Amino acid sequence: MGLLRTIRRYLYGILNYPRRNEVGGNFGMSFETPDLFISLRTLQVATNFFSKKNVIGQGGFGRVYKGLMPNGQEIAVKKLSSNSTPGVIEFTNEVKLLSEIRHLNLVTLLGCCVEGSDKMLVYEYLPNKSLDCFLFDKEKSSSLDWTTRFNIAKGVARGIPYLHEEAPMKILHRDIKASNILLDESLNPKISDFGLARLCPEEDSLMSTRVSGTHGYMAPEYAMHGYLSVKTDVFSYGILLLEIISGRRSLDRRLSTDHADLANFAWTLYQAGKMLELVDPALGDHYNTDSVGMCIQIGLLCCQQTVADRPDMNSIHLMLSSDSFTLLEPGKPGGRWTSMKSGVRNSINTLEDHFRNSSSFSSFDEGS
């Protein structure tokens, strides 16, 4: 109970500072409270008492429900499982970060609810769900033509540098992957799920005690040694880009060793001068070979083993936006990793320490 009270107090502090009076204007919403808190009762009514019929997704921390607000606005409510202990940290993290950032290619947080053991996040509703629902579904993948895929790749490449360089707080997402790219009615992408996001390290990279993310998208230096930097997001973006081109998952253990790891498979084809064999068969011949070739090369540049050789996200966006960019030859992609280095968990200079020591976290730590 004490912890929940602290979290609530903490969230209240964050959400009312510094724009208590701006919220309605910012979100164009007419919720019953002037801040971001939405009552449990309102969400119960909006989701038909969290009816099974309203379930639109299931994530690692709980179910996602579709809801309808009294003003007619459609919403998505992410309800954290009450027994989800790590979820409390991710929850506070997500609310804090999302309440401060606005971008066309990032999902908008409309509000949150903390009542009793219930913790919920309320987002704008994206009618086309997530990219993975299209990409890895044989029947739906054909509705993603190359122009749409390229537009999605570019949109994500616009959203990440906003997080890295332009947002009020510089942020690492840490979990860029197809299921975290939501699609609006016109299939424009919005990056979601900031549960694992962290403030950008002030130095080039820092160590993280808790290595979290998704297998198959994690940069090897992060998975194995806990080194975290903007280039870990770049690595994940590269994997995502190769998935968008190929319609294949980053890791597919049903395939032979040579084919299971997408980045290595793409690299082998690239070196053999057969990179177009990577293209999703669902695209048939309906794609621009120059544009696809450029994207494969950019994807491979992002996945390089040598961290310093990976481009930053702003450069990637520039490369995708210009035909005349001369791309470097990509080096070897990050190898597969199997275990995390044990010393990582005991590291003193942790990103979590850095995060806690920042003034914005002091109210959370007090009394917890």
Query: Which C-beta is closer to ligand ATP: that of 134 or that of 227?
Result: 134
Three-state DSSP string of the chain: CHHHHHHHHHHHHHHHCCCCCCHHHHHCCCCCCCCCECCHHHHHHHCCCCCHHHEEEEECCEEEEEEECCCCCEEEEEEECCCCHHHHHHHHHHHHHHCCCCCCCECCEEEEEEECCEEEEEEECCCCCEHHHHHCCHHHHCCCCHHHHHHHHHHHHHHHHHHHHHCCCCEECCCCCHHHEEECCCCCEEECCCCCCEECCCCCCEECCCCCCCCCCCCHHHHHHCEECHHHHHHHHHHHHHHHHHCCCCECCCCCHHHHEHHHHHHHHHHCCCHHHHCCHHHCCCCCHHHHHHHHHHHHHHCECCHHHCCCHHHHHHHHHCCCCCCCCCCCECCCCCCCCHHHHHCCCEHHHHHHHCHHHHHHHCCC
Check if 175 is active-site: yes
Kindly state whether residue 180 participates in binding ligand ATP, applying the rule CB under 6 A. Answer: yes
Which of positions 67-106 make contact with ligand ATP (CB under 6 A)?
76, 78
Q: Do 353 and 207 contact (CB within 8 A), yes or no?
A: no
Select from 33-41, 174-182, 272-280, 300-308 the region that touches ligand ATP (CB under 6 A). 174-182
Q: Are the beta carbons of 36 and 111 closer than 8 angstroms?
A: yes
Distance of CA 218 to the CA centre of its chain: 12
Rank residues 112 and 296 by Cβ distance to ligand ATP and give the closer one: 112
In whole angstroms, how close is the CB of 55 to ligand ATP at the nearest point?
9
Query: Residue 179 or residue 232: which is nearer to ligand ATP going by CB?
Result: 179
For 266-277, letters b (16+ CB in 10 Å) and e give bbbbbeeeebee
Q: Does 42 contact ligand ATP by CB under 6 A?
A: no
78 labeled binding residue? no
Q: Where does this chain touch ligand ATP (CB under 6 A) — which range of 53-61, 136-144, 202-210, 250-258?
A: 53-61
Any contact of residue 173 with ligand ATP (CB under 6 A)? no
- Rounded to a whole number of angstroms, the minimum distance from the CB of residue 153 to ligand ATP is 18
Closer to ligand ATP by Cβ: residue 77 or 294: 77
In whole angstroms, how close is the CB of 180 to ligand ATP at the nearest point? 5
Q: Which stretch binds ligand ATP (CB under 6 A): 118-126, 145-153, 311-319, 327-335?
A: 118-126
Nearest approach, Cβ of residue 94 and ligand ATP (Å): 10
User: In 3D, which of 155, 204, 147 has the Cα closest to residue 176?
Assistant: 155
Going residue by residue from 307 to 346, which x/- string records binding to ligand ATP, judged by CB under 6 A? ----------------------------------------
Q: List the catalytic residue out of 35, 175, 261, 280.
A: 175
Closest approach of ligand ATP to the CB of residue 137, in Å:
12
Residue with Cβ nearer ligand ATP (228 or 307) = 228
Stretches 33-41, 58-66, 236-244, 290-298: which one binds ligand ATP (CB under 6 A)? 58-66
Q: By CB under 6 A, tell whether 129 contacts ligand ATP.
A: yes
Binds ligand ATP by CB under 6 A, chosen from 64, 109, 181, 244: 64
Which residues are part of a known binding site? 79
Binding site residues, ligand ATP, CB under 6 A: 56-61, 64, 76, 78, 107, 123, 125-126, 129-130, 133, 179-180, 182, 192-193
Which residues are part of a known binding site for ATP? 79
Catalytic residues: 175
